[in-house]
């Protein structure tokens, strides 16, 4: 019998993803033997850092986990604290939170669609190379991102790591007039977002389907962003309180990130594809129209087409922000009073790249005794690896360089935020 032919495809530094990770794929006799997505950012000690701190500090501390989705961290931690402490916030505060989150979706999706993902489809090694031949598209992406920044500045106090958010509401509520100044830029951004959908839908896509369960939040008649129940396309429908009964995390040696699984060990996917599959009928009429115009089906299980789904969500985020501004009345107080309680609180929101779950245990004076944070990229890591396996099987006749490129693109389809996903490695010491 002849010796098996081995082929290894490696990328030591993944470009155009948030954070630092690497990938390696091993083929034996042309079939995938092993696929690894390695995450090796220095472990981040946020969960441990939170212990002993006041529950009021969690939004600001956790927002520092990520410069791309700080609002997601703030909102998930706030949901958890308010869940435990029994806080009901007023309608204007609810509106401001959703509006702030729309700002983050616009910022994050514009960055990913234009600067990180589009170059893959147009055959450029990065945004700079793409900008030389597609300056108008890049201008459009920057303008969109700028509008997201403006929303974040007016409501959150600045464009990255907002400082105006607190448990119970905000330190200061913006005036109606301040928000009305955002209407014109948002209307222009909505136009740009519609153009973005048409532009990305014109890219070439390999026809592929993600098989696993799709998990997202559902929030009544709204397209879920800042709150909701956890649902799936296979019948899951639970309150965030029961998250721990249906999902678990395990540590894998090669990665500083934990891998999430469903309780039965199976893989699931969250993020734009899952949200669109489960809630497309709750999108605004304009977002649905544009999706229909470009033939984006519901559900869309093609991870390569996630760029089109993100673009549709960009239209929605602009549209929804405009609706929220029209509905906004200045609140009597910028924040509700919050009294700490002993116990456990849970919070979950839709970060731009998927579900972000927080769980906190507090003592009676509001000191954090324990914290658990499950970021979207940890939830998606298994699905990404499974998808990579299929991508390699399908494209294994390509040269190493071309196969590497397809693999990198397949990873970027999920907009992974590796900075968010890193956890401290559990260390086991064996003594003889």
Which alpha helices (H) appear in 174-233, and where do they start and end?
176-180, 183-201
Sequence-distant (6+) residues with CB within 8 A of 132 are none
Smallest distance from the beta carbon of 142 to other proteins, in angstroms?
5
Size of the site for other proteins (CB under 8 A): 31
Smallest distance from the beta carbon of 321 to other proteins, in angstroms?
17
The interface region with other proteins, picked from 109-117, 222-230, 291-299, 314-322 by CB under 8 A, is 109-117
Could you say whether residue 39 binds other proteins (CB under 8 A)? no
What is the distance between the alpha carbons of residues 62 and 60, in angstroms, rounded to a whole number? 6
354: left (phi over 0), alpha (psi -120 to 50) or beta: left
Could you say whether residue 15 binds other proteins (CB under 8 A)? yes
The answer to whether the CB of 246 falls within 8 A of the CB of 263 is: yes
The answer to whether the CB of 216 falls within 8 A of the CB of 270 is: yes
What is the distance between the alpha carbons of residues 331 and 115, in angstroms, rounded to a whole number? 38
The interface region with other proteins, picked from 154-162, 224-232, 265-273, 279-287 by CB under 8 A, is 154-162
Sequence-distant (6+) residues with CB within 8 A of 158 are 152
The interface region with other proteins, picked from 8-16, 92-100, 321-329, 388-396 by CB under 8 A, is 8-16
The answer to whether the CB of 137 falls within 8 A of the CB of 311 is: no
Could you say whether residue 20 binds other proteins (CB under 8 A)? yes
Residue window 300-339: x/- pattern of binding to other proteins, with contact defined by CB under 8 A: ----------------------------------------
State whether residue 293 is helix, strand or coil.
Answer: helix
CB atoms within 10 A of CB 327: 11
User: Which one of residues 86, 135, 202, 364 is an interface residue with other proteins (CB under 8 A)?
Assistant: 135
Could you say whether residue 111 binds other proteins (CB under 8 A)? yes
Could you say whether residue 8 binds other proteins (CB under 8 A)? no
Could you say whether residue 356 binds other proteins (CB under 8 A)? no
Which residues within the stretch 389-428 sit at the binding site for other proteins (CB under 8 A)? 419
User: Which one of residues 18, 47, 83, 104 is an interface residue with other proteins (CB under 8 A)?
Assistant: 18
User: Which one of residues 9, 11, 14, 319 is an interface residue with other proteins (CB under 8 A)?
Assistant: 14
Residue window 160-199: x/- pattern of binding to other proteins, with contact defined by CB under 8 A: xx--------------------------------------
Could you say whether residue 159 binds other proteins (CB under 8 A)? yes
User: Which one of residues 100, 113, 115, 290 is an interface residue with other proteins (CB under 8 A)?
Assistant: 115
User: Which one of residues 56, 142, 222, 298 is an interface residue with other proteins (CB under 8 A)?
Assistant: 142
Could you say whether residue 132 binds other proteins (CB under 8 A)? yes
Which residues within the stretch 51-70 sit at the binding site for other proteins (CB under 8 A)? 64, 67-68
The residue behind tokens 């913006």 is 174
The answer to whether the CB of 413 falls within 8 A of the CB of 271 is: no
Burial of 108 (0-12, 13-18, 19+ CB in 10 A): buried
The answer to whether the CB of 237 falls within 8 A of the CB of 330 is: no
User: Which one of residues 50, 102, 127, 403 is an interface residue with other proteins (CB under 8 A)?
Assistant: 127
Could you say whether residue 286 binds other proteins (CB under 8 A)? no
The answer to whether the CB of 99 falls within 8 A of the CB of 319 is: no
Smallest distance from the beta carbon of 210 to other proteins, in angstroms?
25
Q: Residues 64-91, buried b or exposed e (16+ Cβ, 10 A)?
A: ebbebbbbbbbbbbbbbbbbbbebebbe
User: Which one of residues 80, 96, 116, 240 is an interface residue with other proteins (CB under 8 A)?
Assistant: 116
Could you say whether residue 355 binds other proteins (CB under 8 A)? no
3-state secondary structure 151-172: HHHHHHCCCCCCCCEECCEECC
Binding site for other proteins (CB under 8 A): 13-20, 64, 67-68, 111, 115-116, 126-128, 131-132, 135, 138-139, 142-143, 145-146, 149, 159-161, 419
């Amino acid at each position: 019998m002849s010796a098996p032919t081995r082929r290894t495809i490696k990328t030591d530094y993944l470009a155009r993803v948030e954070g630092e990770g690497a990938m390696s794929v091993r083929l034996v006799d042309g079939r995938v033997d092993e696929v690894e997505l390695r995450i090796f950012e220095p472990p981040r000690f946020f969960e441990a850092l939170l212990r002993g701190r006041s529950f009021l500090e969690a939004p600001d501390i956790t927002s520092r986990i990520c410069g791309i989705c700080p609002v997601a961290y703030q909102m998930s931690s706030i949901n958890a604290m308010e869940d435990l402490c029994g806080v009901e916030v007023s309608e204007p505060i609810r509106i401001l939170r959703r509006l702030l989150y729309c700002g983050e979706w616009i910022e994050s999706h514009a960055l990913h669609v234009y600067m990180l993902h589009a170059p893959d489809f147009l055959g450029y090694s990065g945004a700079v190379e793409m900008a030389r031949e597609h300056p108008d598209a890049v201008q459009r992406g920057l303008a969109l991102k700028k509008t997201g920044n403006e929303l974040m500045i007016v409501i959150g106090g600045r464009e990255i790591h907002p400082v105006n958010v607190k448990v119970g509401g905000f330190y200061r509520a913006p005036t109606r007039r301040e928000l009305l100044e955002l209407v014109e830029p948002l209307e222009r951004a909505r136009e740009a977002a519609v153009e973005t959908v048409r532009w990305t839908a014109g890219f070439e896509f390999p026809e592929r389907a993600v098989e696993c369960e799709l998990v997202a939040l559902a929030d009544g008649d709204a397209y879920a962003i800042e709150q909701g129940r956890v649902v799936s396309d296979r019948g899951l429908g639970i309150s965030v309180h029961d998250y721990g009964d249906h999902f678990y995390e395990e540590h894998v040696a090669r990665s500083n990130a934990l891998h999430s699984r469903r309780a039965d060990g199976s893989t699931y996917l969250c993020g734009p594809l899952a949200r669109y599959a489960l809630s497309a009928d709750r999108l605004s009429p304009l977002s649905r129209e544009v999706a229909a115009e470009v033939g984006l089906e519901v559900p869309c299980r093609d991870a390569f087409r996630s760029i089109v789904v993100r673009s549709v969500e960009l239209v929605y985020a602009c549209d929804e922000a405009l609706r929220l501004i029209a509905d906004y009345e200045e609140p009597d107080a910028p924040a509700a009073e919050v009294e700490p309680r002993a116990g456990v609180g849970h919070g979950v929101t839709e970060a731009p790249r998927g579900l972000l779950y927080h769980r906190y245990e507090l003592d009676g004076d509001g000191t954090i005794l324990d914290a658990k944070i499950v970021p979207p990229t940890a939830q998606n890591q298994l699905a990404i690896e499974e998808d990579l396996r299929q991508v390699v099987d399908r494209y294994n006749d390509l040269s190493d360089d071309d196969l590497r490129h397809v693999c990198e693109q397949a990873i970027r389809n999920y907009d992974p935020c590796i900075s968010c996903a890193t956890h401290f490695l559990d260390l086991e010491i064996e003594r003889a």
